[in-house]
């Protein structure tokens, strides 16, 4: 779905937000082209439109309508009918062939954007730690490219180097949050 963002205070108060709607900054020609494609349909291009399942739908539309980056017609047809676009691209990225190499580059570019977004959040909140959770972090990510995006800005490197970035792979994490909240409201 979208990009959820929450931070918690020293008192463990959780503050949810709509932080996925922060403006997206393109860092490569691929991102500039994708940004321009989305911007023709939307006035404001947010990170959510690039790094979430919504983003993968935009990516599919871009790849099938504008520039397939050299993907085969067979793979483009699979993209058009897929409900799991990110997973399809990620799985294909493991193949050593033309489609696989292109999909690997796409995953690296999207992962770099995730890292860049997290770096911006690090500068905004100056937390001790950042946790990336959810399906994209768990299933469809290139961790090396996330780290490249996270440490991209040399001017702020001394800040981001001090903030731990953890990629949480546990699919039940949301349940733990609900349980914690339940205990809190029941004063347990």
User: Which pLDDT does position 173 carry in this prediction?
Assistant: 73
What is the domain-level CATH number for residue 27? 3.40.367.20
Q: Sorting pLDDT into bands at 50, 70 and 90, what band is 175?
A: confident
Q: Does position 1 have pLDDT exceeding 90, yes or no?
A: no
Instruction: Please give the average per-residue pLDDT across 60-73, as a whole number.
Output: 86
Q: Does position 152 have pLDDT exceeding 80, yes or no?
A: yes
Compute the residue count for the chain: 188
As for how many domains the chain has, the answer is: 1
Closest to 76 measured CA to CA, from 90, 93, 61:
61
User: Which pLDDT does position 187 carry in this prediction?
Assistant: 75
Tell me if residue 108 falls in helix, strand or coil: helix
User: Which pLDDT does position 50 carry in this prediction?
Assistant: 93
| Phi, psi for residue 22 in degrees, rounded to 5 | -60, 145
User: Which pLDDT does position 188 carry in this prediction?
Assistant: 64
Q: What is the pLDDT of residues 71-121, one digit of tens each?
A: 999 999 999 999 888 889 999 998 888 889 999 999 999 999 999 999 999
Q: What is the pLDDT of residues 13-55, one digit of tens each?
A: 878 888 889 999 998 999 999 999 999 999 999 999 999 888 8
Range of the domain at 18: 5-185
User: Which pLDDT does position 6 carry in this prediction?
Assistant: 81
User: Which pLDDT does position 182 carry in this prediction?
Assistant: 81
Q: Is the Cβ–Cβ distance between 147 and 135 less than 8 Å?
A: no
Instruction: Please give the average per-residue pLDDT across 163-182, as a whole number.
Output: 80
DSSP string for 147-159 = HHHHT--GGGHHH
Q: How far apart are CA 68 and CA 71, in angstroms?
A: 5
User: Which pLDDT does position 150 carry in this prediction?
Assistant: 93
Share of the chain above pLDDT 90, in %: 44
User: Which pLDDT does position 162 carry in this prediction?
Assistant: 95
Mean pLDDT taken over the chain: 87
């Amino acid at each position: 779905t979208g990009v959820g963002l929450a931070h918690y205070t020293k008192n463990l108060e959780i503050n949810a937000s709509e932080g996925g709607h922060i403006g997206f900054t393109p860092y490569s020609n691929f991102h500039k082209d994708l940004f321009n494609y989305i911007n023709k349909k939307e006035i404001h291009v947010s990170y959510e439109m690039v790094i979430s399942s919504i983003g993968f739908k935009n990516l599919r539309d871009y790849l099938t309508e504008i520039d397939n980056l050299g993907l085969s017609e067979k793979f483009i047809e699979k993209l058009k009918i897929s409900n799991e676009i990110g997973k399809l691209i990620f799985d294909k990225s493991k193949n050593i062939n033309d489609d696989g190499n292109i999909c690997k580059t796409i995953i690296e570019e999207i992962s770099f954007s995730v890292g860049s977004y997290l770096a911006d959040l690090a500068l905004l909140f100056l937390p001790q730690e950042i946790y990336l959770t959810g399906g994209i972090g768990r299933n469809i990510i290139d961790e090396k490219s996330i780290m490249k995006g996270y440490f991209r800005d040399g001017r702020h490197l001394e800040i981001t180097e001090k903030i731990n970035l953890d990629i949480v792979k546990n699919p039940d994490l949301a349940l733990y949050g609900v349980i914690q909240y339940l205990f809190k409201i029941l004063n347990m």
